[in-house]
A and B are shown apart, each in its own frame.
Chain A
Amino acid sequence: MDVKADHVIDARNSYCPGPLMEMIKAYKQAKVGEVISVYSTDAGTKKDAPAWIQKAGQELIGVFDRDGYYEIVMRKVK
């Protein structure tokens, strides 16, 4: 990933719906164009967060598997 995140949320070891809530909170506070990265270990969020990003009409940069967790990266486009 060559995109630098403006907001990094470490929501590892938090369970559904925690990481999604943290991501939406960051999204609400972010400016248009900013990138938000969420670290999570929760299985539900891996599906819920990309679905939310798509429904909200935002840009999903990617879901990246890391060592023992995964990272969801999105850009606020509007």
Chain B
Amino acid sequence: MSKTMSIVLASGTMDKIMAAGVITSGAVADGVDVNIFVTFWGLLKFRKNDNSINKLSYDGSEMSDIIMKKMSEKHIQGGIEMLRKAKEIGNVHVYGCALMSDVMDIKKDDLDPIVEDIIGVSQFVSMTEDSYNTLFI
């Protein structure tokens, strides 16, 4: 049985979603399965046709313009696209948080197809029982 890592992705800024994408990519390359629970600001960014502004988190915000420009010039993949690539080569399961879905009236069909289900937190926590680590991003 392969090892499993769990990630709670609560942030909706590009850098944090990208961190989840990069770590997940590294994990599947290493044969580790990944369960991701997307909640709060994160879930809003997983909506299809999300029109909210992509931005970086406040940390180092004085660098934001430079980083955004460089990422655009170099066509750096977004975090969700990284997760999609990771799912092509390994076991990656992305779940939406039921609470935030209710708060914002989000249905499964409103979300990017990478989200396979909307589940409650207890179901996710029970998944983490078999994980060797759980990250909160």
B partners with A: yes
Collect the chain A residues with CB atoms within 8 Å of residue B76's CB. 15
Chain A proximity mask over B72-95: 1 for CB below 8 Å, otherwise 0: 001111000010011011000000
The size class of the interface chain B forms with chain A is 10 to 19
CB-nearest residue of chain A to B74: A15
**Contact (Cβ within 8 A) A17 B82:** yes
In whole Å, how far is B22's beta carbon from the nearest beta carbon of chain A? Answer: 6
Residue B35 is within 8 A (CB to CB) of chain A in the complex:
no
Chain B proximity mask over A46-66: 1 for CB below 8 Å, otherwise 0: 001000100100000000000
- Complex CA gap A15/B21 in Å reads 13
Instruction: Please provide the chain A residues from 22 to 62 with a CB less than 8 Å away from any CB of chain B in the complex.
Output: 24-25, 28, 48, 52, 55
In terms of DSSP, what is the predominant structure of the interface of chain B?
helix
A: number of interface residues (CB 8 Å): 14
Choice from A13, A14, A15, A21 contacting B29 with Cβ under 8 Å: A21
Collect the chain B residues with CB atoms within 8 Å of residue A15's CB. 74, 76-77
**Contact (Cβ within 8 A) B85 A21:** yes
Collect the chain B residues with CB atoms within 8 Å of residue A16's CB. 22
**Contact (Cβ within 8 A) B25 A17:** yes
In whole Å, how far is A78's beta carbon from the nearest beta carbon of chain B? Answer: 14
In whole Å, how far is A22's beta carbon from the nearest beta carbon of chain B? Answer: 8
Collect the chain A residues with CB atoms within 8 Å of residue B113's CB. none
Chain A proximity mask over B32-66: 1 for CB below 8 Å, otherwise 0: 00000000000000000000000000000000000
Chain B residues near A (Cβ < 8 Å): 22, 25-26, 28-30, 74-77, 82, 85-86, 88-89
Chain A residues near B (Cβ < 8 Å): 13-18, 20-21, 24-25, 28, 48, 52, 55
Listed from nearest, the 8 A-B pairs whose CB atoms lie closest are A17-B25, A24-B89, A21-B85, A25-B89, A25-B88, A21-B25, A24-B29, A20-B29
